[in-house]
Amino acid sequence: MTHRSTLGILIALATLVSTACSTATVDGQSNSEMTPVLTTARVPRHIDQSDRPQVTFDPCLDIPDSAIIEAGYDVASEENADFTPDEYTFLGCTYDTPQRLYGLNVLSGNISFEEERQKVQTTQKSTRPIEINGRPALLEFDSAKPDVCAVSMETSSGFVILDRNLFKGTGAHAPESEWCAGLEDTARIFERYIPKEG
């Protein structure tokens, strides 16, 4: 069972328990009269100890299997890739293509997009501002780190990064022109599921 399936079952069970409990009575009052109504907002899977915004977009739960398949990745290859220190949060999953040509990390974090922009401008040799479906984004790669490319997209809580590795299987590096090929198309597919601002 995938991480996505397990989380979905747990959320469904929590909803059923909450619903069942709301009909109980205490001293003639229904529980629904004594407790606030549940909202549809999902509690993030991790809340850090910082004053940063909570991560509201969770790639593992919010990107449907159909979009993963559309982007050419194997849903069954999904693995958890959360990174959750006290200072910030990144929720994410990894995927492989069926032929294992690409490995993709999809992470949603609450470090600001401006912080990411400043970091990559000082550490990456090749960074280009782009737009993904009208959303501010960065294309990131470094000639000193072959076969790797990333796209970062701004969100209300920070940014989502698609970090991809290319595996030729020959022991040789791919030409630089192939490192980022098609990654913006993948970002356009996944961006559709990131909530729009305002």
On the question of pLDDT at 185 being above 60, the answer is yes
The residue type at 150? A
The predicted pLDDT at position 3 comes to 53
Question: Is 113 a domain residue?
Answer: yes
Asked if residue 7 and residue 67 are part of one domain, the reply reads: no
On the question of pLDDT at 180 being above 50, the answer is yes
Question: Is 51 a domain residue?
Answer: no
Q: pLDDT tens for residues 76-135?
A: 999 999 998 889 999 999 999 999 899 999 999 999 999 999 998 888 778 999 999 999
The residue type at 98? P
Number of domains in the chain: 2
Asked if residue 29 and residue 63 are part of one domain, the reply reads: no
Asked if residue 82 and residue 167 are part of one domain, the reply reads: yes
On the question of pLDDT at 138 being above 80, the answer is yes
Asked if residue 110 and residue 180 are part of one domain, the reply reads: yes
Asked if residue 66 and residue 24 are part of one domain, the reply reads: no
Asked if residue 21 and residue 66 are part of one domain, the reply reads: no
CATH label of the domain that carries residue 145 = 3.40.1000
Asked if residue 107 and residue 21 are part of one domain, the reply reads: no
Question: Is 198 a domain residue?
Answer: no
pTM score? 0.77
Asked if residue 187 and residue 95 are part of one domain, the reply reads: yes
Phi/psi-derived region of residue 61, left when phi > 0, alpha when psi is between -120 and 50, beta in every other case = alpha
Asked if residue 184 and residue 93 are part of one domain, the reply reads: yes
First to last CA, the chain: 36
Question: Is 53 a domain residue?
Answer: no
Query: Comparing 162 with 121, which gets the higher pLDDT?
Result: 162
Asked if residue 184 and residue 86 are part of one domain, the reply reads: yes
Question: Is 197 a domain residue?
Answer: no
Domain extent for 70: 59-191
Question: CB pairs under 8 A, 24+ apart, for 31-38?
Answer: none
Q: pLDDT tens for residues 11-63?
A: 443 443 343 444 444 444 444 444 554 445 667 777 878 899 999 899 999 99
Q: Which of 55, 155, 163 is nearest to 114 (CA)?
A: 155
Q: Contact 52/109 with Cβ under 8 angstroms? A: no
Asked if residue 73 and residue 23 are part of one domain, the reply reads: no
The predicted pLDDT at position 15 comes to 40
Question: Is 162 a domain residue?
Answer: yes
